[in-house]
């Protein structure tokens, strides 16, 4: 057993060493400290007890369109009503035609024939989009429908859900002929320009 004097000296040395380490080590909450790669099991274990796992949030999905019944139809079958479902049509661009100029206008859903360069966002005119007028449908937010169709009586007008979803019925007729790609198109209505809301789904007509 060490003499009492030796025990006092040793205790003082240990206390001084602890104070020095504490003053140099820093805090685990120090936002300016750089994070080095794991080089030892001891370091990794120490960090695991003081660092919380990061919280991650999935990025929202963009707009998308699908045709429930598929995209291939028999020419001899005549007119077929197909269901076009859209999801994620949010952050809508504003229209530039009365009565919805300055308001979010939603999208048209149409069946027809389209040039290779057909998109309004590419600056092409309406001649590049030759659709059957009777098929033209319009999915729009509730605030805009209250202006265009306050009594909800217009045919082929649909209200987007708060999440930007819609379900529209479009007649497809493979017995009709036209120039360009036969397709169902979805694109911003009332002169609005928004490239990520432009979709062309080609239709195949079989014998």
| pLDDT at residue 149 in the model | 96
**In what helix (H) or strand (E) does residue 87 lie, and over which residues does it extend?**
strand 79-87
Of 173, 19, 163, 3, residue with least CA distance to 81: 173
pLDDT at 77: 85
What pLDDT, on a 0 to 100 scale, did the predictor assign at position 48?
44
SS (H, E, C) 166-184: EEEEEEEECCCCCCCEEEE
Q: What pLDDT score was predicted for residue 162?
A: 96
The domain locations on the chain are 64-206
The pLDDT, as a whole number, for residue 207 is 86
3-class DSSP state of 13: helix
Give me the average pLDDT of each 10-residue run along the chain (207 residues): 43 38 34 35 40 44 94 92 98 95 97 98 96 96 96 95 97 94 98 97 95
pLDDT of residue 40: 36
Q: Classify domain 64-206 by CATH number.
A: 2.60.40
Token code pair at residue 57? 């949030």
State the pLDDT at residue 24.
35
> How high is the pLDDT of residue 80?
95
């Amino acid at each position: 057993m060490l003499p009492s004097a030796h025990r006092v000296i040793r205790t003082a040395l240990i206390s001084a060493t602890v104070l020095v380490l504490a003053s140099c080590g820093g805090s685990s909450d120090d936002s300016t400290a750089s994070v080095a790669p794991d080089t030892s099991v001891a370091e990794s274990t120490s960090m695991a007890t003081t660092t919380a796992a990061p919280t991650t949030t999935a990025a929202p999905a963009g707009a998308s369109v699908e045709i429930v019944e598929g995209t291939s139809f028999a020419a001899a079958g005549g007119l077929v009503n197909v269901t076009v479902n859209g999801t994620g049509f949010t952050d809508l661009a504003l229209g530039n035609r009365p009565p919805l100029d300055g308001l979010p206008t939603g999208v048209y859903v149409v069946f027809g024939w389209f040039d290779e360069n057909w998109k309004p966002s590419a600056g092409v005119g309406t001649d590049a989009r030759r659709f059957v007028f009777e098929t033209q449908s319009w999915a729009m937010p509730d605030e805009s429908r209250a202006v265009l169709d306050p009594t909800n009586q217009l045919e082929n007008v649909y209200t987007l859900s708060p999440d930007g979803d819609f379900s529209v019925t479009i007649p497809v007729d493979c017995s009709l002929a036209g120039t360009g790609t036969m397709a169902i198109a979805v694109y911003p209505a009332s002169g609005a320009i928004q490239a990520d809301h432009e979709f062309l789904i080609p239709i195949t007509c079989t014998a």
